[in-house]
Structure formats: C-alpha cells, structure tokens
Amino acid sequence: MKSTFSILFYIDRSKTSERNECIIRCRITCNGASASFSTGLHTSPVDWQAKKGRIKVVANRANAVNLQLNSIEDRLHALYELTLREENYITAEYLKEQYQHQNKPPRHS
C-alpha cells in the first residue's frame, strides 16, 4: 500500500515569549491526516523562513537550531520507513507518539 508522508516546520505566532520569540512546531501529515507537536525550539518571527521551514542563516543561533530541525526531520523519516516496513500501516498520530516516546529521557527509579 502506497502512503503519502510529509513534514512541515512552522512557528506558532499565537503565543510569543517575553523575548518576542515563537515556538517552532512540527506537523506530520500521513495519508491526509496530520498530527503536530512542539519541537521545544524558538525563533523570532522576523528570522523565520516559512517556505524553507528554517531560520535565516544570518540570525543568531540559526545554524544550531536548523541542525536540530534537520535532525528531527531525519529521525522522523527513518521512523516512518522503519514503521512502514515492519507494520505495513502508519498514521501521523502513531508516528508522532513513536517519535516522542523515543525522545523521552529514561526515568531513573
């Protein structure tokens, strides 16, 4: 079964910090359904390039944040491929849950 898959990074302009920064969110779309989550990264709306889904390179911290966004994207693609191969079925919500579960620090008792 062929499935469609895309990843989009965008900023949530509805909530800005005291430093006038917006949170960067990630939207996963799979077979027409989407799920989104916060990346935990921030940027100024002025520095955000919506078409690229990245921060302008001239901005402070741009390289570090863009590398983190690339890493998120790479890990999501790998997780998508792995899940599709092993389970032959995938949803955006399931992929989001798997990704977030992967990124939780281990709990020590």
Q: Provide CB contacts within 8 A for 21, sequence distance 6+.
A: 42, 43, 44
Tell the burial category of 25 from Cβ atoms under 10 Å away from its Cβ (0-12, 13-18, 19+).
Answer: middle
Mean pLDDT of the chain: 88
47 band by pLDDT with thresholds 50, 70 and 90: very high
State the pLDDT at residue 89: 80
Q: What is the pLDDT of residue 87?
A: 85
Q: pTM for the complete prediction? A: 0.86
Q: State the average pLDDT over residues 41-63.
A: 89
pLDDT category of residue 101 using cuts at 50, 70 and 90? confident
